[in-house]
Structure formats: C-alpha cells, structure tokens
Amino acid sequence: MAQVTAVTPVAKMVGSNRVIQGKGIVYPLGDAELDAEEEKDLRRSIVRQALEALKTEV
Amino acid sequence: MKVVHYLNQFFGGLGAEEQAGIGPEIRGEAVGPGRLLEQVLGDGSTVVKTIICGDNYAAENLESVMETVVNEVRDSGAELFVAGPCFVAGRYGVAAGALCAAVQAELGIPVVTGMGVENPGVDLYRQELYIVDSGENVAEMRDVLTKMAAIAKVTASGEDVGRPAEWGYIPRGIMKDEIVEESAAVRLANMIVAKTQGQPYETELTQTGFEPIPAPPAVTDLSNATVAIVTDGGLVPAGNPDNMPAIASTIWGSYDIATVDNLEGEDYEVYHRGYDNRHVLNDPDRLVPVDVLKELEKAGEVGKVYEQFLSMTGLANPLANSRRIGQEIAENLKSAGVDAVILTST
C-alpha cells in the first residue's frame, strides 16, 4: 500500500510504510488553482510516484 | 479479604519451560508471590486459592482455563482476583489479562494484574483492566505487588483509582473531568516556558503508541498487477447507499468504477466533516484518481484497476474501530485478488 496524503507526519506516525506527499488536505490529488490540464498532469505525477513506491522495497 | 491468585508454572514453583504444558492445578493456600501478596494486602487478607497453570497450556486452551478459573473464583467466594505479576512473560501476560477480564465480567469483583509495558497482554487488556506497570525486573516483586494491592483495596472499597502515574498502572485511555485553577492558556504558556528552559513539564495530551507495521514486499511488476484505490476521505455515490456517517464512521463501502473512466461530481457525495468537501465534489478524481489510473491501465503501466473503490470516513474514529475497518478492507481486497493499493487520505 502506498498512502497519498498532504499530512505526511500523521501517516508516518501511525506506521505507514510508503508515504507520498499529496497536494493538499482538501485535495490530495488535485489543485483548484491550476487549469484542468495542468491539474491532471499533477495528479498523474502523484499517482506515478505512488506506483513507483509500490514497486520499491522498503 | 478473600483472594484467588493465578500464577504460571514458573512462579507457581512447578518448573520452567519443560512444565509449560501443565494444566490448571488448584492449591488451597498462597504460593510463592502469593505469600508476599497476603503481606502487602494486610488486614487479614488471605489467598484462599492459588491456581497454577502452564503458559503453553493456558495459551492453547484459553477458553477452558477461563471457565475453570471463573468457576473456582466463584466457588471460593473470593472478593478479589489477582493474576501475576507477569513482567514481560508474553504468554503469561495474555492469559492473566484474559482471566482478569473474564472474572471481572462474569463475577463483578475487583481484579488486578501486573505486566511490563512490552508485554503483549498490555495492548490487549489495558483498556479493560488495571495493569500495574511491573517493568521487566522480577526483583521488583514486592514493589509491584504493593501497587497491585493498593489498587485492589481502593477498587474493593468502591472508590475511584486516581491517575495512572500516581498509582503505577498503565494508562487505560480513560478521560475524566477535573477542576483546575489555571486556564488552558496559562498552563500552555507555563509548559512552553518550561520546555524552552529545559525544565520538566507534563503534557496533557499523551500520544498513542503505534506498533511498527512490517512493510509488505514490493510489487515489482505492476503491468501484471491489480491495483485498488482506497480512501478515507468519505467519497460515496450520490444518495449515500450505505448511510456513511460524516464523522466517527463504523462502516466502509465498496463502490463500482468498472465502467467509468473518470468520476463526475454530480454522481458522488462526500460524507466527511473534517475538511472542506467542495473541491472534491467539483471533481472526485482529486481524491479517488480514477481518471489517470485508468489511463495508465490503458497504457499498460498498470495491469488492472480494481473495479471497485473502497471508501470510509476517517474522522474522529476510535483507534480500535479504525484497526477493525483496516483489517476488513485488507481482507476484502486480498480475497478479491488485489495486489496493491493506493490509499488517499484527506
């Protein structure tokens, strides 16, 4: 499991092993400040980081 | 006070590990630490029965040992049940905790035990029982039994036991109202001053301890793997079919995404009072990234996106509840053949 969250200290505190920095509490995989295309690029990049973490031994 | 005392084979004087398979034996008097227990209890307290059982036997036959012990305690007319102390002996601690909990529930008499904080019995029974922090050093027996006796006497008299630190027991997670002279602001300022000066201070908000979780192995070939999305952000289909509460949820839901390539706000609702839900309602992919994960599936980077996403409201949940939900979700996904999970948390 890879966990995407903006509040990484909490994820680490409870013992999550693969933690990915999310964009914000209100949208871990989005950003209302960006236009649609940029936002999707951001989301893709975060999901790819999560997949990369899943592929990596910890 | 009439007392029944539970000991393992070692403290009961039957032998070490080679006797761990021995079943319950009843003695009509105090044995080993029980004699010391009588002394520190004072007031003519008597151990009317000692129940001795091997650690392996108790671990493998816990139900029947519980029944035996509850019956023996009932028959003896005991006013107090004491188990241990067990220090860091794990099987002993787990049995002592289970027996104390059973006697307390069935007979309603005071019970007390003692364990080191690393004993696995602590995590299992600290909320239900007074467990004196025994540390790991058996030489502290008298001190530990003295604390256990003090708690036993107060409980038997029907009075409240005070704070864990004052009475030497492991915190049970119980919160009690208390009148204090200084306001929260003053107490906070005093704490900060003490902290910056390197002085001792006592926090009013203790953190829960978390056991380390072993990291699951990597999924090296994601192009052949099934990946599921789980969220604690409270996203549910419009109409909230499972009645997901917006706070302190005891349930989780599993929702179909087999035929959609991205999530539309009009099809979903958010039940979570812990964050501003509007951005997720505008585009649920910001929480449950179905759109990009399905693209990656088409591109072959991910073998398969699991056809359901799982959701719950991660807000103001007691830890025991969250652990249960986590276990249920893990079992559900495992039996569905899911290889990897992306969990999104608000």
**Which of B228, B254, B250 shows the shortest CA–CA distance to B241?**
B254
Write out chain B's pLDDT in tens, 346 residues.
999 999 999 999 999 989 999 999 999 999 999 999 999 999 889 999 999 999 999 999 999 999 999 999 999 999 999 999 999 999 999 999 999 999 999 999 999 999 999 898 998 899 999 999 999 999 999 999 999 999 999 999 989 899 999 999 999 988 888 898 999 999 999 999 999 999 999 888 766 667 788 999 999 999 999 999 999 999 999 999 999 999 989 999 999 999 999 999 999 999 999 899 999 999 999 999 999 999 999 999 999 999 999 999 999 887 778 889 999 999 999 999 999 999 999 9
Q: What is the pLDDT of residue A24?
A: 94
Q: Is the ipTM of this complex over 0.90?
A: yes
Burial status of residue A30 (CB atoms within 10 A of its CB: 0-12, 13-18, 19 or more): buried
Q: Which residue of B has its CA nearest to A7?
A: B346
Q: Which two tokens stand for residue B237?
A: 């289909």
- Cα distances (angstroms) measured from residue B92 to each of B14, B244, B305: 14, 41, 46
- For an interface test with A, give the residue of B283, B291, B338 to mutate (most A CBs within 10 A): B283
Q: Which residue of B has its CA nearest to A11?
A: B345
Quote the CA–CA distance of B51 and A22 in Å, as a whole number: 56
Q: What is the pLDDT of residue B316?
A: 83
Quote helix, strand, coil % in chain A, to nearest 5: 45, 10, 45
User: Nearest CB to A13: which of B210, B218, B344?
Assistant: B210
Q: Which residue of B has its CA nearest to A20?
A: B344
Q: Break chain A into its structural domains and give their ranges.
A: 3-55
Contact B173/B125 with Cβ under 8 angstroms?
A: no
Cβ–Cβ gap A28/B301 under 8 Å: no
Looking at the complex, does the CB of residue A51 fall below 8 Å from at least one CB of chain B?
yes
- For an interface test with A, give the residue of B292, B304, B310 to mutate (most A CBs within 10 A): B292
Residues from chain A contacting residue B289 (CB–CB below 8 Å): 29, 43, 46-47
Contact A28/B323 with Cβ under 8 angstroms?
A: no
Q: What is the pLDDT of residue B177?
A: 85
CB atoms within 10 A of CB B244: 21
Cβ–Cβ gap B218/A15 under 8 Å: no
Q: What is the pLDDT of residue B282?
A: 97
Looking at the complex, does the CB of residue B283 fall below 8 Å from at least one CB of chain A?
yes
Strands B25-27 and B46-53 come out as antiparallel
Looking at the complex, does the CB of residue A12 fall below 8 Å from at least one CB of chain B?
no
Q: What is the pLDDT of residue B318?
A: 76
Give the torsion through C-alpha atoms of B30, B48, B130, B249, to 10 deg.
Answer: 130
Contact B62/B83 with Cβ under 8 angstroms?
A: no
Q: What is the pLDDT of residue A14?
A: 86
Quote the CA–CA distance of B106 and A25 in Å, as a whole number: 47
Cβ–Cβ gap A1/B342 under 8 Å: yes
User: Nearest CB to B343: which of A3, A43, A51?
Assistant: A3
User: Nearest CB to A47: which of B211, B217, B289?
Assistant: B289
Strand order in the sheet with B253-256: A19-21, A2-5, B340-345, B226-231, B304-311, B253-256
Looking at the complex, does the CB of residue A56 fall below 8 Å from at least one CB of chain B?
yes
Looking at the complex, does the CB of residue A4 fall below 8 Å from at least one CB of chain B?
yes
Q: Which two tokens stand for residue B169?
A: 């027991």
Residues from chain A contacting residue B222 (CB–CB below 8 Å): 51, 54-55
User: Nearest CB to A26: which of B279, B340, B341?
Assistant: B279
Quote the CA–CA distance of B85 and B135 in Å, as a whole number: 10
Q: Which residue of B has its CA nearest to A32?
A: B279
Q: What is the pLDDT of residue B207?
A: 64
Cβ–Cβ gap A25/B346 under 8 Å: yes
Contact B298/B218 with Cβ under 8 angstroms?
A: no
Q: What tens digit of pLDDT does each residue of A12-47 get?
A: 888 999 999 999 999 999 999 999 999 999 999 999
User: Nearest CB to A43: which of B212, B276, B292?
Assistant: B292
Domains of chain B, first to last = 2-167 (3.40.50.2300), 222-344 (no CATH)
Q: What is the pLDDT of residue B208?
A: 65
- For an interface test with B, give the residue of A27, A44, A58 to mutate (most B CBs within 10 A): A27
DSSP, residue by residue, B259-321: T-SS--GGGEEE--TTS-THHHHH-GGGTS-HHHHHHHHHTTSSSEEEEEEEE-B-SS--HHH
